[in-house]
Structure 1
Amino acid sequence: MSKVLSNKSNLQVLYEDNHIIIVNKRAGDIVQGDKTGDKPLSDIVKEFLAEKYNKQGNVYLGTVHRLDRPTTGLVIFSKTSKALPRLNKLFVSKDISKTYWAIVKNQPPKSKDTLIHWLKKNPKNNKSTAYYKEIKDSKKAILHYSIIKKLDNYYLLEINLETGRHHQIRTQLACIGCSIKGDLKYGFNRSNKDASISLHARHISFIHPVSKIELNITAPLPKDPIWDACII
Protein backbone atom coordinates (compact mmCIF):
# COMPACT_ATOMS: atom_id res chain seq x y z
CA MET A 1 0.00 0.00 0.00
CA SER A 2 1.31 3.44 -0.83
CA LYS A 3 -0.68 5.30 1.81
CA VAL A 4 0.21 5.61 5.48
CA LEU A 5 -1.57 2.87 7.38
CA SER A 6 -3.02 3.05 10.85
CA ASN A 7 -0.88 3.42 13.93
CA LYS A 8 -1.80 4.32 17.48
CA SER A 9 -1.28 8.04 16.80
CA ASN A 10 -3.53 8.30 13.74
CA LEU A 11 -6.13 5.67 14.66
CA GLN A 12 -9.63 6.97 13.92
CA VAL A 13 -11.81 5.98 16.85
CA LEU A 14 -15.51 6.48 16.14
CA TYR A 15 -16.94 5.19 19.42
CA GLU A 16 -15.59 3.94 22.72
CA ASP A 17 -17.01 3.00 26.11
CA ASN A 18 -15.98 0.58 28.86
CA HIS A 19 -16.85 -2.48 26.78
CA ILE A 20 -16.55 -1.58 23.07
CA ILE A 21 -14.30 0.36 20.75
CA ILE A 22 -15.24 1.00 17.10
CA VAL A 23 -12.64 2.25 14.63
CA ASN A 24 -12.57 3.35 10.99
CA LYS A 25 -10.23 0.91 9.25
CA ARG A 26 -7.91 2.19 6.55
CA ALA A 27 -7.27 0.30 3.33
CA GLY A 28 -4.30 -1.99 3.78
CA ASP A 29 -4.84 -2.67 7.47
CA ILE A 30 -5.38 -6.29 8.43
CA VAL A 31 -7.80 -6.78 11.30
CA GLN A 32 -6.04 -9.85 12.69
CA GLY A 33 -2.53 -11.20 12.20
CA ASP A 34 -1.91 -13.43 9.18
CA LYS A 35 0.94 -15.10 7.32
CA THR A 36 2.27 -11.73 6.10
CA GLY A 37 3.50 -10.94 9.58
CA ASP A 38 2.27 -7.34 9.23
CA LYS A 39 1.09 -5.66 12.42
CA PRO A 40 -2.68 -6.14 12.65
CA LEU A 41 -5.21 -3.48 13.54
CA SER A 42 -6.01 -5.36 16.74
CA ASP A 43 -2.46 -4.78 18.00
CA ILE A 44 -2.61 -1.11 17.03
CA VAL A 45 -5.84 -0.69 19.01
CA LYS A 46 -4.21 -2.41 22.00
CA GLU A 47 -1.29 0.03 21.83
CA PHE A 48 -3.72 2.94 21.62
CA LEU A 49 -5.61 1.76 24.72
CA ALA A 50 -2.44 1.04 26.67
CA GLU A 51 -1.16 4.54 26.02
CA LYS A 52 -4.50 6.29 26.57
CA TYR A 53 -5.14 4.64 29.93
CA ASN A 54 -1.49 4.17 30.94
CA LYS A 55 -1.99 0.44 31.26
CA GLN A 56 0.90 -1.84 32.14
CA GLY A 57 1.09 -5.37 30.78
CA ASN A 58 -1.31 -7.00 28.34
CA VAL A 59 -4.43 -5.16 27.18
CA TYR A 60 -7.52 -7.29 26.60
CA LEU A 61 -9.09 -6.90 23.16
CA GLY A 62 -11.50 -9.26 21.44
CA THR A 63 -11.91 -9.36 17.67
CA VAL A 64 -15.59 -9.57 16.79
CA HIS A 65 -15.50 -9.53 12.97
CA ARG A 66 -13.17 -8.70 10.09
CA LEU A 67 -13.00 -6.67 6.91
CA ASP A 68 -10.97 -7.60 3.85
CA ARG A 69 -7.55 -5.96 3.79
CA PRO A 70 -8.20 -3.62 0.81
CA THR A 71 -11.55 -2.39 2.17
CA THR A 72 -12.25 0.45 4.59
CA GLY A 73 -14.76 1.27 7.27
CA LEU A 74 -16.23 0.21 10.59
CA VAL A 75 -14.63 -2.47 12.73
CA ILE A 76 -15.90 -3.37 16.21
CA PHE A 77 -13.60 -4.67 18.94
CA SER A 78 -14.55 -5.83 22.43
CA LYS A 79 -12.64 -4.34 25.36
CA THR A 80 -13.97 -6.85 27.89
CA SER A 81 -14.47 -10.60 28.12
CA LYS A 82 -18.04 -9.85 29.19
CA ALA A 83 -18.92 -8.07 25.96
CA LEU A 84 -17.16 -10.37 23.49
CA PRO A 85 -19.53 -13.40 23.57
CA ARG A 86 -22.52 -11.06 23.57
CA LEU A 87 -21.23 -9.24 20.50
CA ASN A 88 -20.51 -12.56 18.82
CA LYS A 89 -24.08 -13.62 19.54
CA LEU A 90 -25.41 -10.42 17.94
CA PHE A 91 -23.53 -11.24 14.73
CA VAL A 92 -24.69 -14.87 14.70
CA SER A 93 -28.33 -13.87 15.30
CA LYS A 94 -28.03 -11.08 12.69
CA ASP A 95 -29.06 -8.44 15.21
CA ILE A 96 -26.35 -6.11 13.94
CA SER A 97 -27.32 -4.08 10.87
CA LYS A 98 -24.40 -3.31 8.53
CA THR A 99 -24.53 -1.03 5.50
CA TYR A 100 -21.78 -0.86 2.91
CA TRP A 101 -21.03 1.56 0.09
CA ALA A 102 -19.39 0.37 -3.11
CA ILE A 103 -18.29 2.19 -6.25
CA VAL A 104 -18.74 0.29 -9.53
CA LYS A 105 -18.08 1.19 -13.17
CA ASN A 106 -20.95 -0.63 -14.81
CA GLN A 107 -24.57 0.17 -14.16
CA PRO A 108 -26.34 -2.70 -12.39
CA PRO A 109 -29.23 -4.37 -14.27
CA LYS A 110 -31.76 -2.83 -11.86
CA SER A 111 -31.78 0.32 -9.74
CA LYS A 112 -32.28 -1.92 -6.72
CA ASP A 113 -32.42 -5.66 -6.32
CA THR A 114 -31.84 -8.65 -4.10
CA LEU A 115 -29.02 -10.96 -5.17
CA ILE A 116 -29.08 -14.63 -4.22
CA HIS A 117 -26.15 -16.87 -5.05
CA TRP A 118 -24.31 -19.86 -3.69
CA LEU A 119 -20.68 -19.06 -2.96
CA LYS A 120 -17.83 -21.53 -2.86
CA LYS A 121 -14.45 -20.51 -1.49
CA ASN A 122 -11.19 -21.67 -3.00
CA PRO A 123 -8.61 -21.50 -0.18
CA LYS A 124 -5.72 -21.89 -2.63
CA ASN A 125 -6.28 -18.46 -4.20
CA ASN A 126 -8.41 -16.98 -1.39
CA LYS A 127 -11.25 -16.32 -3.82
CA SER A 128 -14.94 -17.16 -3.92
CA THR A 129 -17.03 -18.11 -6.95
CA ALA A 130 -20.76 -17.40 -7.24
CA TYR A 131 -23.22 -19.95 -8.61
CA TYR A 132 -26.94 -19.59 -9.31
CA LYS A 133 -27.65 -23.07 -7.98
CA GLU A 134 -26.39 -24.86 -4.92
CA ILE A 135 -23.30 -27.00 -5.47
CA LYS A 136 -21.21 -29.12 -3.13
CA ASP A 137 -19.59 -27.12 -0.30
CA SER A 138 -21.28 -23.87 -1.36
CA LYS A 139 -23.05 -21.48 1.00
CA LYS A 140 -26.13 -19.41 0.28
CA ALA A 141 -25.44 -15.67 0.02
CA ILE A 142 -28.06 -12.92 0.04
CA LEU A 143 -27.59 -9.18 -0.30
CA HIS A 144 -29.72 -6.17 -1.17
CA TYR A 145 -28.34 -3.29 -3.23
CA SER A 146 -29.60 0.02 -4.53
CA ILE A 147 -28.05 2.74 -6.68
CA ILE A 148 -27.90 5.82 -4.48
CA LYS A 149 -25.86 8.15 -6.70
CA LYS A 150 -24.75 8.40 -10.33
CA LEU A 151 -21.22 9.76 -10.57
CA ASP A 152 -19.51 11.04 -13.73
CA ASN A 153 -18.13 7.63 -14.65
CA TYR A 154 -19.27 5.37 -11.86
CA TYR A 155 -22.24 4.33 -9.73
CA LEU A 156 -22.43 4.43 -5.94
CA LEU A 157 -24.26 1.45 -4.50
CA GLU A 158 -25.61 0.95 -0.99
CA ILE A 159 -25.54 -2.66 0.13
CA ASN A 160 -27.15 -4.49 3.03
CA LEU A 161 -26.17 -8.06 3.80
CA GLU A 162 -28.43 -10.86 4.98
CA THR A 163 -25.54 -13.31 5.16
CA GLY A 164 -21.84 -12.90 5.84
CA ARG A 165 -19.85 -15.00 3.39
CA HIS A 166 -16.23 -14.87 2.28
CA HIS A 167 -15.80 -11.91 -0.13
CA GLN A 168 -19.58 -11.88 -0.48
CA ILE A 169 -20.14 -8.34 -1.79
CA ARG A 170 -17.14 -8.53 -4.11
CA THR A 171 -18.19 -11.90 -5.52
CA GLN A 172 -21.89 -11.20 -5.96
CA LEU A 173 -21.42 -7.79 -7.60
CA ALA A 174 -18.83 -9.26 -9.96
CA CYS A 175 -21.32 -11.99 -10.87
CA ILE A 176 -23.75 -9.36 -12.24
CA GLY A 177 -20.99 -7.57 -14.16
CA CYS A 178 -20.39 -4.86 -11.55
CA SER A 179 -16.91 -5.47 -10.17
CA ILE A 180 -15.92 -2.99 -7.49
CA LYS A 181 -13.52 -0.24 -8.56
CA GLY A 182 -9.95 -1.38 -8.02
CA ASP A 183 -10.83 -5.02 -7.32
CA LEU A 184 -8.50 -6.86 -9.71
CA LYS A 185 -9.22 -10.20 -8.03
CA TYR A 186 -12.88 -9.97 -9.06
CA GLY A 187 -12.56 -8.57 -12.54
CA PHE A 188 -12.00 -4.81 -12.39
CA ASN A 189 -9.58 -3.78 -15.13
CA ARG A 190 -7.17 -1.64 -13.13
CA SER A 191 -6.08 -1.12 -9.56
CA ASN A 192 -6.58 1.92 -7.37
CA LYS A 193 -3.41 3.93 -6.76
CA ASP A 194 -3.29 2.90 -3.11
CA ALA A 195 -4.15 -0.76 -3.88
CA SER A 196 -7.48 -0.39 -2.10
CA ILE A 197 -10.84 -1.42 -3.46
CA SER A 198 -13.75 1.04 -3.35
CA LEU A 199 -15.77 -0.82 -0.75
CA HIS A 200 -16.52 0.89 2.56
CA ALA A 201 -18.30 -0.40 5.66
CA ARG A 202 -20.33 2.77 6.04
CA HIS A 203 -22.85 2.31 8.86
CA ILE A 204 -23.61 -0.05 11.69
CA SER A 205 -26.45 -0.17 14.20
CA PHE A 206 -27.14 -2.50 17.11
CA ILE A 207 -28.28 -2.62 20.71
CA HIS A 208 -25.27 -2.40 23.01
CA PRO A 209 -24.92 -5.86 24.59
CA VAL A 210 -24.20 -4.47 28.06
CA SER A 211 -25.79 -1.01 28.39
CA LYS A 212 -28.71 -1.90 26.05
CA ILE A 213 -28.61 1.52 24.39
CA GLU A 214 -28.99 1.71 20.63
CA LEU A 215 -25.79 2.55 18.75
CA ASN A 216 -25.81 4.05 15.26
CA ILE A 217 -22.30 4.69 13.97
CA THR A 218 -21.30 6.04 10.55
CA ALA A 219 -17.73 5.84 9.25
CA PRO A 220 -16.38 8.88 7.36
CA LEU A 221 -15.38 8.12 3.78
CA PRO A 222 -11.73 7.74 2.76
CA LYS A 223 -9.91 10.90 1.71
CA ASP A 224 -10.04 10.47 -2.06
CA PRO A 225 -11.54 12.54 -4.90
CA ILE A 226 -13.94 9.84 -6.04
CA TRP A 227 -15.18 9.21 -2.50
CA ASP A 228 -15.54 12.99 -2.07
CA ALA A 229 -17.95 12.91 -5.01
CA CYS A 230 -20.04 10.32 -3.18
CA ILE A 231 -21.00 12.58 -0.31
CA ILE A 232 -24.78 12.89 -0.29
Structure 2
Amino acid sequence: MCASEQSPIPILYEDNHLLGIVKPVNVLSQEDASGDPDLLTLLKQDLKERYQKPGNVYLGLVHRLDRPVGGAMIFAKTSKAASRLSEAVRSRSFSKTYLAVVHGSPAASAGRLEDTLLKDERTNTVRVVPKGTPGGKHAILDYRVLGQLTNGLSLIQVELLTGRSHQIRVQLSHLGCPLYGDQKYGAKLNKPGQQLALWSAYVGFPHPITKEPVALVSIPPDEFPWNHWPRSRYDQAGRSF
Protein backbone atom coordinates (compact mmCIF):
# COMPACT_ATOMS: atom_id res chain seq x y z
CA MET A 1 0.00 0.00 0.00
CA CYS A 2 3.03 2.25 0.27
CA ALA A 3 3.43 4.66 -2.59
CA SER A 4 6.37 5.97 -4.52
CA GLU A 5 9.39 7.22 -2.60
CA GLN A 6 9.35 10.27 -4.87
CA SER A 7 6.78 11.94 -2.62
CA PRO A 8 8.37 14.68 -0.49
CA ILE A 9 5.96 13.90 2.37
CA PRO A 10 6.25 10.46 4.05
CA ILE A 11 3.38 8.19 3.02
CA LEU A 12 1.98 5.64 5.50
CA TYR A 13 -0.84 4.26 3.33
CA GLU A 14 -2.20 4.81 -0.15
CA ASP A 15 -4.77 3.20 -2.43
CA ASN A 16 -7.33 4.48 -4.91
CA HIS A 17 -9.49 5.92 -2.13
CA LEU A 18 -7.16 7.07 0.66
CA LEU A 19 -3.87 8.82 1.31
CA GLY A 20 -2.30 8.49 4.75
CA ILE A 21 0.77 10.62 5.45
CA VAL A 22 3.06 11.93 8.18
CA LYS A 23 2.27 15.62 8.59
CA PRO A 24 5.40 17.74 9.05
CA VAL A 25 5.40 20.03 12.10
CA ASN A 26 4.68 23.73 11.58
CA VAL A 27 2.82 23.16 8.29
CA LEU A 28 -0.84 24.20 8.02
CA SER A 29 -3.37 21.41 7.43
CA GLN A 30 -5.21 23.65 4.97
CA GLU A 31 -4.89 27.14 3.56
CA ASP A 32 -5.60 30.11 5.80
CA ALA A 33 -5.29 33.89 5.62
CA SER A 34 -1.51 33.75 6.23
CA GLY A 35 -0.87 32.47 2.71
CA ASP A 36 1.75 30.06 4.07
CA PRO A 37 2.20 26.67 2.35
CA ASP A 38 -0.43 24.16 3.47
CA LEU A 39 -0.49 20.38 3.45
CA LEU A 40 -3.67 19.97 1.40
CA THR A 41 -2.26 22.05 -1.46
CA LEU A 42 1.15 20.36 -1.28
CA LEU A 43 -0.40 16.89 -1.43
CA LYS A 44 -2.66 17.78 -4.34
CA GLN A 45 0.37 19.01 -6.26
CA ASP A 46 2.29 15.85 -5.35
CA LEU A 47 -0.54 13.60 -6.59
CA LYS A 48 -0.80 15.61 -9.78
CA GLU A 49 2.92 15.20 -10.47
CA ARG A 50 3.33 11.57 -9.37
CA TYR A 51 0.35 10.34 -11.38
CA GLN A 52 0.61 12.92 -14.17
CA LYS A 53 -3.00 13.95 -13.67
CA PRO A 54 -4.44 16.71 -15.88
CA GLY A 55 -6.66 19.37 -14.37
CA ASN A 56 -7.59 19.64 -10.72
CA VAL A 57 -6.90 16.82 -8.25
CA TYR A 58 -9.54 15.93 -5.63
CA LEU A 59 -8.34 15.46 -2.07
CA GLY A 60 -10.70 15.65 0.88
CA LEU A 61 -9.66 16.93 4.31
CA VAL A 62 -11.20 14.55 6.86
CA HIS A 63 -9.60 15.82 10.07
CA ARG A 64 -7.13 18.53 11.04
CA LEU A 65 -3.99 18.84 13.09
CA ASP A 66 -2.90 22.14 14.62
CA ARG A 67 -0.06 23.79 12.76
CA PRO A 68 2.69 22.85 15.29
CA VAL A 69 1.50 19.22 15.52
CA GLY A 70 3.02 16.47 13.36
CA GLY A 71 2.22 12.83 12.75
CA ALA A 72 -0.33 10.49 11.17
CA MET A 73 -3.10 12.05 9.09
CA ILE A 74 -5.57 10.63 6.55
CA PHE A 75 -6.99 12.26 3.42
CA ALA A 76 -9.71 11.03 1.05
CA LYS A 77 -8.95 10.74 -2.67
CA THR A 78 -12.63 10.49 -3.66
CA SER A 79 -15.77 12.31 -2.54
CA LYS A 80 -17.39 8.99 -1.56
CA ALA A 81 -14.45 8.14 0.71
CA ALA A 82 -14.54 11.65 2.20
CA SER A 83 -18.25 11.39 2.98
CA ARG A 84 -17.92 7.97 4.61
CA LEU A 85 -14.86 8.97 6.64
CA SER A 86 -16.66 12.08 7.86
CA GLU A 87 -19.50 9.84 9.00
CA ALA A 88 -16.96 7.61 10.79
CA VAL A 89 -15.72 10.69 12.64
CA ARG A 90 -19.28 11.65 13.65
CA SER A 91 -20.11 8.10 14.79
CA ARG A 92 -16.83 7.81 16.73
CA SER A 93 -15.60 4.81 14.75
CA PHE A 94 -12.63 7.00 13.79
CA SER A 95 -9.93 6.63 16.46
CA LYS A 96 -7.17 9.16 17.17
CA THR A 97 -4.34 8.63 19.64
CA TYR A 98 -1.62 11.16 20.42
CA LEU A 99 1.65 11.25 22.31
CA ALA A 100 2.50 14.34 24.34
CA VAL A 101 5.33 15.56 26.55
CA VAL A 102 3.98 17.60 29.44
CA HIS A 103 5.28 19.51 32.44
CA GLY A 104 4.55 17.64 35.65
CA SER A 105 2.39 14.53 35.83
CA PRO A 106 -1.29 13.86 36.56
CA ALA A 107 -2.07 12.62 40.07
CA ALA A 108 -3.55 9.46 38.55
CA SER A 109 -1.44 7.43 36.11
CA ALA A 110 -4.47 6.97 33.85
CA GLY A 111 -7.91 8.49 33.63
CA ARG A 112 -10.59 10.33 31.68
CA LEU A 113 -10.96 14.09 31.41
CA GLU A 114 -14.38 15.60 30.69
CA ASP A 115 -14.70 19.37 30.36
CA THR A 116 -16.76 22.02 28.63
CA LEU A 117 -14.65 24.08 26.24
CA LEU A 118 -15.44 27.51 24.83
CA LYS A 119 -13.53 28.98 21.89
CA ASP A 120 -12.84 32.68 21.47
CA GLU A 121 -12.73 33.12 17.70
CA ARG A 122 -11.23 36.60 18.03
CA THR A 123 -8.10 35.37 19.84
CA ASN A 124 -8.18 31.76 18.56
CA THR A 125 -7.92 30.50 22.12
CA VAL A 126 -10.00 27.96 24.04
CA ARG A 127 -10.75 27.75 27.76
CA VAL A 128 -12.54 25.44 30.18
CA VAL A 129 -15.89 26.87 31.29
CA PRO A 130 -18.72 25.67 33.57
CA LYS A 131 -21.08 23.06 32.14
CA GLY A 132 -24.07 24.72 30.49
CA THR A 133 -22.13 27.81 29.33
CA PRO A 134 -23.66 29.06 26.06
CA GLY A 135 -21.47 28.01 23.15
CA GLY A 136 -19.52 25.53 25.25
CA LYS A 137 -18.77 22.09 23.81
CA HIS A 138 -18.38 18.82 25.67
CA ALA A 139 -14.80 17.49 25.44
CA ILE A 140 -13.64 14.00 26.44
CA LEU A 141 -10.22 12.34 26.35
CA ASP A 142 -8.57 9.35 27.97
CA TYR A 143 -4.92 9.54 29.03
CA ARG A 144 -2.20 7.20 30.25
CA VAL A 145 1.21 8.17 31.65
CA LEU A 146 3.96 6.24 29.84
CA GLY A 147 6.98 7.65 31.62
CA GLN A 148 8.22 10.33 34.02
CA LEU A 149 11.60 12.06 34.28
CA THR A 150 13.40 13.70 37.19
CA ASN A 151 13.42 17.00 35.26
CA GLY A 152 9.64 17.20 35.67
CA LEU A 153 8.63 16.11 32.17
CA SER A 154 6.22 13.22 31.51
CA LEU A 155 5.31 11.25 28.41
CA ILE A 156 1.56 10.80 28.03
CA GLN A 157 -0.61 8.84 25.62
CA VAL A 158 -3.94 10.50 24.83
CA GLU A 159 -6.97 9.04 23.08
CA LEU A 160 -9.36 11.68 21.81
CA LEU A 161 -13.03 10.79 22.16
CA THR A 162 -14.20 14.17 20.85
CA GLY A 163 -12.48 16.49 18.39
CA ARG A 164 -12.54 20.00 19.83
CA SER A 165 -10.21 22.83 18.86
CA HIS A 166 -6.96 22.74 20.91
CA GLN A 167 -8.63 20.07 23.07
CA ILE A 168 -5.57 18.16 24.29
CA ARG A 169 -3.60 21.31 24.96
CA VAL A 170 -6.41 22.97 26.92
CA GLN A 171 -7.54 19.97 28.95
CA LEU A 172 -4.03 18.92 30.01
CA SER A 173 -3.16 22.53 30.88
CA HIS A 174 -6.35 22.75 32.96
CA LEU A 175 -5.23 19.56 34.72
CA GLY A 176 -2.00 21.31 35.66
CA CYS A 177 0.16 19.58 33.04
CA PRO A 178 0.67 21.96 30.09
CA LEU A 179 2.40 20.59 27.03
CA TYR A 180 6.08 21.22 26.55
CA GLY A 181 6.56 24.14 24.16
CA ASP A 182 2.94 25.34 24.33
CA GLN A 183 3.04 29.14 24.32
CA LYS A 184 -0.76 29.55 24.36
CA TYR A 185 -1.67 27.33 27.27
CA GLY A 186 1.60 26.99 29.19
CA ALA A 187 3.50 30.25 28.71
CA LYS A 188 4.68 30.36 32.33
CA LEU A 189 6.62 27.12 31.90
CA ASN A 190 7.71 27.35 28.27
CA LYS A 191 10.09 29.58 26.36
CA PRO A 192 9.54 31.19 22.96
CA GLY A 193 10.91 29.06 20.14
CA GLN A 194 10.32 25.70 21.81
CA GLN A 195 8.55 23.16 19.59
CA LEU A 196 5.16 21.98 20.82
CA ALA A 197 5.52 18.34 21.90
CA LEU A 198 2.30 16.82 20.55
CA TRP A 199 2.30 14.04 17.96
CA SER A 200 -0.48 12.22 16.12
CA ALA A 201 0.68 8.65 16.75
CA TYR A 202 -2.30 6.62 15.55
CA VAL A 203 -5.31 7.04 13.31
CA GLY A 204 -7.64 4.04 12.92
CA PHE A 205 -10.92 3.58 11.06
CA PRO A 206 -12.85 1.14 8.85
CA HIS A 207 -11.90 1.52 5.20
CA PRO A 208 -14.68 3.57 3.58
CA ILE A 209 -15.07 1.08 0.71
CA THR A 210 -13.83 -2.37 1.85
CA LYS A 211 -14.75 -1.87 5.56
CA GLU A 212 -11.44 -3.53 6.50
CA PRO A 213 -9.63 -1.87 9.44
CA VAL A 214 -7.00 0.69 8.50
CA ALA A 215 -4.33 1.72 11.02
CA LEU A 216 -1.82 4.52 10.53
CA VAL A 217 1.01 4.57 13.08
CA SER A 218 3.69 7.25 13.34
CA ILE A 219 6.24 7.70 16.13
CA PRO A 220 7.73 11.10 17.05
CA PRO A 221 11.10 12.20 15.67
CA ASP A 222 14.30 11.26 17.47
CA GLU A 223 14.89 14.76 18.78
CA PHE A 224 14.34 16.83 21.92
CA PRO A 225 12.19 16.42 24.00
CA TRP A 226 11.03 13.07 22.53
CA ASN A 227 14.52 11.57 22.77
CA HIS A 228 14.37 11.66 26.56
CA TRP A 229 12.74 8.23 26.19
CA PRO A 230 14.18 5.20 24.31
CA ARG A 231 12.71 4.41 20.90
CA SER A 232 11.60 1.07 22.32
CA ARG A 233 9.11 2.96 24.50
CA TYR A 234 7.44 4.39 21.40
CA ASP A 235 7.50 1.03 19.62
CA GLN A 236 5.82 -0.52 22.65
CA ALA A 237 3.17 2.24 22.66
CA GLY A 238 2.62 1.72 18.96
CA ARG A 239 1.88 -1.96 19.43
CA SER A 240 -0.85 -1.06 21.94
CA PHE A 241 -2.87 1.05 19.48
* TM, length-normalised to structure 2: 0.88
**Counterpart in the other structure of 2:224:** 225
**Counterpart in the other structure of 1:4:** none
Please give the secondary structure, in 2, of the residue aligned with 1:197.
Answer: coil
Name structure 2 gaps, 5 residues minimum: 1-5, 234-241
Contact preservation (8 Å) 2:73, 2:203: no
**Counterpart in the other structure of 1:107:** 105
**Counterpart in the other structure of 1:48:** 46
**Counterpart in the other structure of 2:238:** none
Separation of aligned partners in 2, 1:56 and 1:91: 31
Q: Are 2:70 and 1:75 equivalent residues in the alignment?
A: no
Deviation at 1:56, TM superposition (A): 1.8
Q: Percent identity between the aligned chains?
A: 39
Counterpart AA for 1:140? H
**Counterpart in the other structure of 2:160:** 161
Give the one of 6, 18, 26 matched to 1:28.
Answer: 26
Separation of aligned partners in 1, 2:101 and 2:179: 6
Poorly superposed stretches of 4+, deviation over 3 Å: none
**Counterpart in the other structure of 2:208:** 209
Please give the secondary structure, in 2, of the residue aligned with 1:225.
Answer: coil
1:157-196 pair list within 5 angstroms: 157-188=156-187, 189-191=189-191, 193=193, 195-196=194-195
Separation of aligned partners in 2, 1:82 and 1:161: 25
Counterpart AA for 1:46? K
Name structure 1 gaps, 5 residues minimum: 1-7
Contact preservation (8 Å) 2:183, 2:192: no
- Higher mean C-alpha deviation, range 32-41 or range 182-191: 182-191
**Counterpart in the other structure of 2:13:** 15
Separation of aligned partners in 2, 1:134 and 1:181: 31
**Matched positions, count:** 224
Deviation at 1:9, TM superposition (A): 4.8
What do you get for the CA RMSD once the two structures are aligned?
1.6
CA shift digits 1:2-44 (9 cap, x unpaired): xxxxxx8531111111000011111111011001011210011
CA shift digits 1:133-160 (9 cap, x unpaired): 3312111111111101123421000011
* TM, length-normalised to structure 1: 0.91
CA shift digits 1:98-150 (9 cap, x unpaired): 11111001111211111111000001110100135331211111111110112
Counterpart AA for 1:85? S
